A and B are shown apart, each in its own frame.
Chain A
Amino acid sequence: MHHEKLVKLDPTIHSRIRLAVLSILASVKEADFTYLKETIGTTDGNLSTHLSKLEQAKFIKVKKSFKGKKPVTTCSISQKGKDAFSKYLKALEDIIHFKRP
C-alpha cells in the first residue's frame, strides 16, 4: 500500500513503551515511575531508557522528590508532548482510514 509510506510517524513516540507512557500521561496530571512500570509491564532499566528519550525530546517532565524517606520519580506530559501525541494519533487514524496526511 502506498499510503503506508506517506504517513510520517514521529520516531520518538513510535515505540510500544514510549507510546504507552504518553497514553498514560495524557490522561493523568502526573504518574510515578512505579505506576508506569506496573501498568505497562516493563522493567526499571527499560522504562528509564524510554523515559530519558521522551525527556530529551521535551515530551515529558521528570521530577525527582521524596515521599517521607522514599525517593519518588514523578512524570508528567508537557505541552510539546501533548501536541506530538495528538499528531501521532491523527497519523494512526490516517493510516486506518487510508487517508493521506
Chain B
Amino acid sequence: MNEIQAKEEIQLIREMIEKTKMSGAKAWKYFFIWGIIGILGVFGMYILVYFEKYNWIWINWFVFVGLGVFLTQLFREKEEKRQKTKTYAHIAISHLSFACGIAFCLVGFVFPLLELYPYGVIPVLISLIAGILTFGIGGIIEWNLLKWCGVFWWLGAVGMLFIHWHWRGLMFVPLLIIGYIIPGFVFRSEFKKSVKNAS
C-alpha cells in the first residue's frame, strides 16, 4: 500500500464516523416538547395566581409535567422502533436526561411539598438543573451553542435572586425560549443538514 491509498483509507474511516456521529443525537425533539410545555405551565400558573386559585398550581404542574413525560415516552418508543444504531452519545444523553428528570421532580415537587424550602427557591433550582442538562448534552454532542444555553440557564438562576420571588417563574419564558426552543430549532436544521450531507 502506498501513501495515497493509506490516505484514501483514512478518508473512508473519517467518512463512516461522520455519517454515524449524528445518527443517535435526536434530542432536539425533546427540547421542543419541554420548552413548549414549560411555557404553557408558566402561563397556566400565572392565570391561576390571577384568579387566586393557589391550590391548583400544583395540579397545573402535575398535568403539564405528566403530559411532557407522556410525550417524551411516546417519541422515545417511536424512535427506538426505527433506531438502527445505538451510539455512545445516545446512551449518555438518555442517562443524563433521566438523572436530571429525577432531580427536577425532587426539587420541583417532593422537597417543596415537604416544606424543605420556600416556593421562591424552586425556579432557581430548576434553572440550575436545566443548565446542567443543556450544558451536558452540548458537551456530549460537542455543540458549543448548547453549552452556551446551559450557561444562560445558570445566569438566569443567578438573575432570579435579584427579583421578587412572585415573578421568578416568569423568567422561565425567556429562559425556555433561548435555552430550549431556539437551540431546538437550530439543532433540528443542523441535524437534517448532516443527514442530507451523509446520504
Contact = CB atoms under 8 A, between A and B. Distances in A.
Given A27-B20, A39-B19, A95 B1 contact: yes
A65 to B, nearest CB: 13
Given A23-B13, A28-B24, A96-B7, A4 B86 contact: no
B86 A30 contact: yes
Interface in A1-58: 1, 4, 7, 9, 14, 16, 19-20, 23-24, 26-32, 34-35, 38-40
Interface in A82-101: 89, 92, 95-96, 98
B6 A92 contact: yes
Interface string B23-59: 1100000000000000000000000000000000000
Contacts of B3: 1, 95-96, 98
Contacts of A95: 1-3, 6
A31 B84 contact: yes
Mostly helix, strand, loop or mixed at chain A's interface? Answer: helix
A32 B85 contact: yes
A69 interface: no
Contacts of B81: 67-68
Mostly helix, strand, loop or mixed at chain B's interface? Answer: helix
Interface size class of B (residues with CB under 8 A): 20 to 34
Given A28-B88, A92-B9, A7 B1 contact: yes
A39 B22 CA distance: 13
A27 B1 contact: no
B91 interface: yes
A9 B85 contact: no
B16 interface: yes
B181 to A, nearest CB: 29
Given A39-B19, A40-B16, A27 B6 contact: no
